[in-house]
Structure 1
Amino acid sequence: MSDRPSPDDSRHDSAGDGAGDGAGDGAGDRATATRPVYLDSASAEPLHPAARDVLLRAAEQGYADPRRLHGPGRAARLLLDNAREVTAQALGVRADEVTFTGSGTEAVHRGLLGLHRGRARSAGGFLVGAVEHSAVRHATRWTGEPVHELPVTRLGAVDPSAAADVVAEAGPVAVAAVQSANHEVGTLQPVAAVLDALAGDTPLFVDACASAGRMPLPAGWSAAAASAHKWGGPAGVGVLLVRKGSVWRNPFPGDDRVDERAAGFENVPAALAAAAALQAVVAERDEVSARQRAMVERVRATVGATVPDVEVVGDPTDRLPHLVTFSCLYVDGEALVTELDRRGFGIASGSACTASTLTPSHVLAAMGVLTHGNVRLSLTRETTDDDVDRFLAVLPEVVAELRARVGP
């Protein structure tokens, strides 16, 4: 048996790698009661133990350029091929449909714009959901082509019937882009219904960064994108999927790489670690998702009952299992994040990628819900019932204090 690091033989027992449970030890109980609680896995999931094990071992063997013919290069190529095979199996795709990129954003840009370039001579413009990630929105605008937005319901799901209306009025579009699930409110998107409404050969790009690993990929995509740090892999690893037979052309300057979908030298150890984490997450997702869904349902019910003037947003059932978002009237979202952080809770407010600009979330605005005082909780695989109970106990007090500061 080879001693080459592989996701298949990695250990992913989390015992001993984080804060202890404190059982039977008063000091441990106090440590558990006061330890920080990270509730922002939608931005980045903590590194999965499976990824940590593989990353350390692969760094010793995967340093060389996998395109070189010498021994170290061949060793790196074997690791890269292994990562591609494991990723493909976990996502239910072919290995030759998988390309590793430098980030999820790069995978989005390459996938979406590559489909667009492949259709440039036959159709122009884009059809996109109004709640797509900013990476999709920026990419479509960068082309200068018309962008037609699909409206969404108050729960955050795109309206499939609008797709047929847009095509009937504006003519064929080059690419349709519909995310698998919304990154801010967790609502699952009706990807199949949009495809049915288009009823043609329009290629579909699916941004699956929020859901990959947590849920199966939707059917019907021509290209898709995922991001390893969302499922507990290392940051700096994106996954571009291009369906066999899809017309895709490199939208950016190329290099001397054989795979035109890749740009430069892949981070082989990180790609292998990302594959290991994905494999582990898929294997455990039924149990983890059930546990997280129960905790999120408790948050949705309790916040609405204990915090006055609050709106819990997103679909209550057709959603990602680990994510919940709500908005509080008369409270600044950034202040709420700061005060909860002071009490040991790491959460997000507004759009995960635009909160620092202090601009309202385009997702919440498109839904027609409150955009002020927004909070997004996203549970990690290690989040416990006690963590959620502590958060729910603190939240009403924090909201009341912030409202008192601004007065009646």
Structure 2
Amino acid sequence: MTNAADRSGVPLPRYFDTASAEALHPAARQTLLAALDQGYADPRRLHGPARSARLLLDNARAVVAECLGVRPDEVSFTSSGTEAVHRGLLGLLAARPERGDRVVLSAVEHSAVVHAATWRRAEGHVEVGVDHLGRVDPDAVAEAARQPEVGAVAVQTANHEVGTVQPVAAVAAALDGVPLVTDACASMGRLPLPEGWSVAAGSAHKWGGPAGVGVLVVRKGVRWTTPFPSDDRVDERVAGFENVPAALAAAAALQAVVGERDEVNARQTALVDRVRAGVAAIPDVEVVGDPVDRLPHLVTFSCLYVDGEALVDGLARRGFSVASGSACTSSTLEPSRVLAAMGALTHGNVRLSLTRDASADDVDGFLAALPEVVAAIRADAGL
């Protein structure tokens, strides 16, 4: 089985990097085009166009809240998932200076979390290790959080590189009054939010919304204050002119994704299981991450004696767009912090993440191409 080809016989590209960015969902595209004509005005003003923009913004907030199972007044729109992570974590620390500004975080958090913790207190955060599946131990997190000057704990909802779902609710239950921020950028829309967190962050382009829209959720009653200069906007938790059409499009995409979640997740889970089994049959290849309790669309594996960049290039020539290296710094193909923390191979790794419409033929084509690409690279290296 091979990937589909155009009339010249060149394989058509198959995009398998949705963990980085999902293509715009049809619901988002339709909503965005319509909202561009109605949501251009400043929602703070009192004239008619501004009232229309404010109505659209409030509607976007209400839709996102319903999809996530939270209150509309807990939802804010930021310029990215990274900004949502930064504001969420740093806002918790700024609101409780008496507790201290050290952050306890898992060793597999996204770089956005690490950078925010370091920016607040250089070399002051506490990393908690993970097991070979990439999962953190709730008791270990709770023990670390008892150290002096710990002001917040950060545990992601699911890992962005290997897909392993984290025990956020169990971590929250083990903590003694320390607020918990969860980076849900990789899972928002695909999985329900867990229980127990104080702040959550999401990124619209991960679920098929427009790029440049993040979601910050701060639970009612949580002590949080803006860690950056204030702005006289509609929402005191963010700064700058809201991109109202993009926020509404992001909400429409999230609503559509949540509505089709059960069917899409079941189909993608079966396809990823197929990939995991096929990849594991290749000599000297290690499939990483939890095989069951994971994101439905994502799988990562590492190939011994193979360069990651060469793998990406070889698969691209066969028509498959995949990721390699750290998901945080893939442009430089630096070794993955996540894989290192898990004790897995950090070179020759591939992260494959499926689109909503990925088929069994696509997966079979990938599984047919991969062994040939790996064998060719190893042969070129004299192995």
- Shorter chain as denominator, the TM-score bin is over 0.9
SS of the residue 1:164 aligns to: helix
RMSD value, Cα: 1.7
Q: Give 1:148's aligned residue.
A: 126
| 1:398 aligned partner, one-letter code | V
Task: Write the distance in 2 (CA, Å) between the matches of 1:342 and 1:63.
Answer: 42
1:158 maps to 2:133: no
**Are 2:71 and 1:71 equivalent residues in the alignment?**
no
Name the CA shift for 1:91/1:31 in 2 (closer, same or farther; >3 Å).
farther
Match for 1:330 among 299, 305, 312? 305
Question: AA paired with 2:159?
Answer: N
Rounded Cα–Cα distance in structure 1 between residues aligned with 2:263 and 2:8? 26
Secondary structure at 1:132 match in 2: coil
> 1:319 corresponds to which residue?
294
The normalised TM-score by structure 2 is 0.96
More moved, 337-346 vs 93-102: 337-346
Q: Is the deviation greater in 354-363 or in 128-137? A: 354-363
Q: Aligned runs of 1:215-226 on 2, under 5 Å?
A: 215-226=191-202
Task: Kindly provide the amino acid, as one letter, of the partner of residue 314 in structure 2.
Answer: E
The answer to whether residue 46 in structure 2 is matched with residue 35 in structure 1 is no
Give the superposition deviation at 1:124. Answer: 3.0
Instruction: Report the CA distance shift for 1:289/1:31 in structure 2 as closer, same or farther (over 3 A).
Output: farther
For residues 330 and 30 of structure 2, the distance between their equivalents in structure 1, rounded to whole angstroms, comes to 33
Q: Which residue of 2 aligns with 1:228?
A: 204
Is the CA contact 2:145–2:178 (under 8 Å) kept in the aligned structure 1?
no
- The question of whether the paired residues in 1 share the 8 Å contact of 2:308 and 2:333 is answered with no
Residue 290 of structure 1 corresponds to: 266
In structure 2, the partner of 1:16 is: none
Who is 1:126 aligned against? 103
TM superposition score normalised by structure 1 = 0.90
Cα deviation per residue 1:317-345 (whole Å; 9 max; x = unaligned)? 01000000000001111111111112110
Listed one character per residue, the Cα deviations across residues 205-239 of structure 1 (whole Å, up to 9, x for unaligned) are 00000000000001111111000000000000000
Give the distance between the partners of 1:132 and 1:382, measured in 2 at CA.
Answer: 29
Shift in Å at residue 60 of structure 1?
Answer: 0.7
Match of 1:299 in 2: 275
Unmatched runs of 5 consecutive residues or more in structure 1: 1-21
| 2:358 pairs with 1:383 | yes
2:154 is matched with 177
Report the counterpart of residue 74 of structure 2 in structure 1: 97
CA–CA distance in 2 between the matches of 1:63 and 1:137? Answer: 35
Summarize deviations over 1:113-155 as a string: whole Å, max 9, x none.
Answer: 0011112122331110100000000000001162111110000
1:192 matched to 2:197? The reply is no
Single out whichever of 344-353 and 295-304 deviates more from structure 2: 344-353
My pick for the range that moved more, 294-303 or 354-363, is 354-363
Report the residue type matching 2:58 in the other structure.
D
Q: How much has 1:33 moved relative to structure 2?
A: 9.2
Residue 114 (structure 2) aligns with: 137
Distance 2:99 2:144 in 1: 17
- Cα distance in 1 for partners of 2:68, 2:131 equals 29
Which stretch shows the higher mean deviation, 256-265 or 367-376?
Answer: 256-265
Which whole-Å CA distance do the structure 2 matches of 1:325 and 1:197 have between them?
30
Q: Which amino acid aligns with 2:132?
A: R
Deviation at 1:174, TM superposition (A): 0.4
% same residue: 70
Unaligned runs of 5+ in 2: none
Does the C-alpha gap of structure 1 residues 32 and 315 become closer, same or farther in structure 2, counting only changes over 3 Å? farther
Shift of 1:357: 2.2
Rounded to whole Å, the distance in 1 between the matches of 2:162 and 2:41 is 41
340, 344, 358: which is aligned to 2:315? 340
SS in 1 for 2:97: coil
Counterparts of 2:9 and 2:355, CA distance in 1: 16
Q: Describe the shift of the 1:264–1:325 C-alpha distance in structure 2 as closer, same or farther (beyond 3 A).
A: same
Match of 1:174, SS state, is strand
Runs ≥4 residues deviating over 2 A: 30-35
Contact 2:101-2:121 at 8 Å conserved across structures: no
**Structure 1 CA distance, aligned partners of 2:99 and 2:132?**
35
Amino acid at match of 1:150: V
The letter of the residue matching 2:338 is V
Distance 2:27 2:8 in 1: 25
- Tell me by how many angstroms 1:165 deviates: 2.6
Q: 1:270 to 1:32 in 2, by over 3 A?
A: farther
